[in-house]
Structure 1
Amino acid sequence: MRIGLALPQYGGFADPAAIVAVSKFAEASGFDSVWVGDRLLVASEPRGQYPGGQIPPGFAHFLDPLTVLTVAAGVTDRVRLGTNTLNALWQPPMLLARTVASLDQVSRGRLDVGIGLGWSPDEFEALGVPWPGRGARLEETLDVLETAWAPGPVEYVGERWTVPHARIDLKPRQTPRPPILLGGHAPATLERVGRRADGWLAGPLPIPALTGMWTTVERTAEKNDRDPSALRLVVRINPAVETDDVDPKLVPRRGSIAQLAGYAHDLETAGAHEVMFDLQLTTNNVDELIETAAELHTAITGQR
């Protein structure tokens, strides 16, 4: 199982020097990947429920995810670069196709494109993007991306977008395209992963719930004549790291280094392909983030 780390991006960590420091640390210390998220604003009176409970105040200062990954790409050579998750519906898919293809070229083919539907109606309103019908909009967005990245001339006619017959010679470095991973836990998301994505971005669920949902993904893949073993399961954890052990029922949202490493080991046993940690909500500065990340990596790899 691979181990990933979220890059500094929001709140007090939204600093270019921090991105460079953590990117270099991750590469040198054996992490397999670095990841970014995507937030636009923190509404004073939110109309949507943040998946983790209360919206972290630091989300009001949030660096653009693909800009952060571009910085990381320039100071690393090995680690994969991922979005977990990118709100792809916030922009026209042809612009997104260009940006993603550019970043995949800049990173020499190290990009994983993790996409989510979002949870905040306020962000969609601020961008003039309809909140209803997000699933259908995502399906067409994926269609446009795949069209733009396919070899040869491009042409697309859909319900929301039309691309005239044209040359677009900028293509991703990876073939046939960068891996597309989808985030979320709704039945429609699991079905969509199995039907057309390369993997699932899951949250910190109890192992039985996680494996049950993953079985749904695998069965859907089989029904659509796809190889379930080719799909990836990536689990994101935003833990509160404690000095001492906590009630096991609180793990992995809270826990000691040993408990979090134990959960990661359970994930690996259950078939997860990657676990990634965002430590920006539980550390106070870059040095503490790096120290905590190093302890976690050592604890996880030491259990193998």
Structure 2
Amino acid sequence: MRIGFSVPQFGPFADPGLAARTCTELEALGCHSLWVADRLLSPLVPPQGYAGGKPMPLRYGTHLDPLLALGVAAAATERVRLGSSTLNALWQPPLVLARALTTLDLISHGRLDVGIGLGWMREEYEAAGVPWRGRGARLEETLDVLDAVWGSDPVIHTGPLWTIPESTVLPKPLQAPRPPVLLGGFSPPALERVGRRADGWLAASMPLPYFTGLWAVAVEAAERAGRDPAGLRRVFRVNPEVTGTEAAPEETHHRGTVRQICDHLGTMCGAETDEVLVDLQLTTDSPGEFLDLAGAFMAELAGSAP
């Protein structure tokens, strides 16, 4: 099992200096990776699709840009992998996105994991001026453009949404043939896409029956595409609600003592390449407690590893 943590970037943690210091400390704890998330705004009226109609946490209205935050993390660390879980890739043209990601891979000396998804909030699409309809097709072509740009020159792409004339697009990423691309999502089409063309799935801690059903879709899609499902990575995100006393067993995928939450994550991780991403930014407002909890999760997860 690999163990990762969130890069501080939301609410009281939206401070570049604090983010840099915390990333250095997290690397010193021995974690495998650090991850950013992506929010544009926090609507005051609860958006559709969020937590049963509950208001979003106000701290999501205060945020650092994910790619720039990864640059801060890259400068503050030497060893850990650096990823996005998830970057809402459709809010900018894919050629522009490819340039930024290539630069991050070079800045980090080849430590970048590209984690992208569709997002789920219609209000953010409207604010970014990007159509909500047709998101799946837009993501497919975005992946096509990234593959083209990261392939050998000359680069050329002709599609329904974007055209790149025969061009030189340099430099290329340090990682060959490209940085790993992991996709988020929790619907059958999203998991089919993971199996068919991604390097892995940006998943979440969830009840095991739900996880098993979703993962089966990715496995079947990979086999149909002639790919080995065993080569797909899985990153299980948890935004834990840590309690002082034990929670009910059906809640431990997101709520309970540190040991309960880690035990559940341990049951989900069935391969050495599986990874846990612990996001503590909704758990505490204190940088000191953030690091204390990270240390506690590191100790428990190391004991839960398969």
TM-score (norm: length of structure 1): 0.96
Amino acid aligned to 1:89? L
How many residue pairs get matched?
Answer: 304
Q: Which residue of 2 aligns with 1:159?
A: 160
- After TM superposition, the runs of 4+ consecutive aligned structure 1 residues lying more than 6 A away are none
The answer to whether the aligner puts 1:130 opposite 2:131 as a matched pair is yes
The runs of 5 or more residues in structure 1 that have no matched partner are: none
Amino acid aligned to 1:260? I
Q: 1:303 Cα deviation (Å)?
A: 3.7
Q: Which residue of 1 aligns with 2:15?
A: 15
1:196-215 counterparts in 2 under 5 A? Answer: 196-215=197-216
Change (3 A) 1:174 1:282: same
Q: Which residue of 1 aligns with 2:43?
A: 43
Q: 1:20 Cα deviation (Å)?
A: 1.3
Q: Which residue of 2 aligns with 1:78?
A: 79
Deviation readout 1:199-226 (Å, 9 max, x if unpaired): 1111221122212211221111010011
- Is the partner of 1:101 in helix, strand or coil? helix
Verify the 8 A CA contact 1:234 1:275 in the aligned structure 2.
yes
Q: 1:46 Cα deviation (Å)?
A: 4.2
* 1-structure distance, mates of 2:255, 2:267: 16
* 2-structure distance, mates of 1:15, 1:285: 13
* 1-structure distance, mates of 2:16, 2:45: 30
Q: Which residue of 2 aligns with 1:3?
A: 3
* 2-structure distance, mates of 1:257, 1:90: 36
TM-score (norm: length of structure 2): 0.96
* 1-structure distance, mates of 2:176, 2:285: 40
Verify the 8 A CA contact 1:35 1:82 in the aligned structure 2.
yes
* 2-structure distance, mates of 1:220, 1:130: 27
Amino acid aligned to 2:23? S
1:291-302 counterparts in 2 under 5 A? Answer: 291-302=292-303
* 1-structure distance, mates of 2:174, 2:51: 34
* 2-structure distance, mates of 1:101, 1:303: 35
Q: 1:269 Cα deviation (Å)?
A: 3.8
Query: Equivalent pairs: percent with the same residue?
Result: 49
Q: Which residue of 1 aligns with 2:26?
A: 26
* 2-structure distance, mates of 1:39, 1:31: 24
* 2-structure distance, mates of 1:66, 1:294: 26
* 2-structure distance, mates of 1:202, 1:303: 18
* 2-structure distance, mates of 1:21, 1:263: 30
- Is the partner of 1:201 in helix, strand or coil? strand
* 1-structure distance, mates of 2:172, 2:271: 36
* 2-structure distance, mates of 1:115, 1:176: 18
Amino acid aligned to 2:151? A
Verify the 8 A CA contact 1:46 1:122 in the aligned structure 2.
no
Q: 1:271 Cα deviation (Å)?
A: 7.7
- Is the partner of 2:211 in helix, strand or coil? helix
Q: 1:252 Cα deviation (Å)?
A: 2.1
* 2-structure distance, mates of 1:90, 1:35: 19
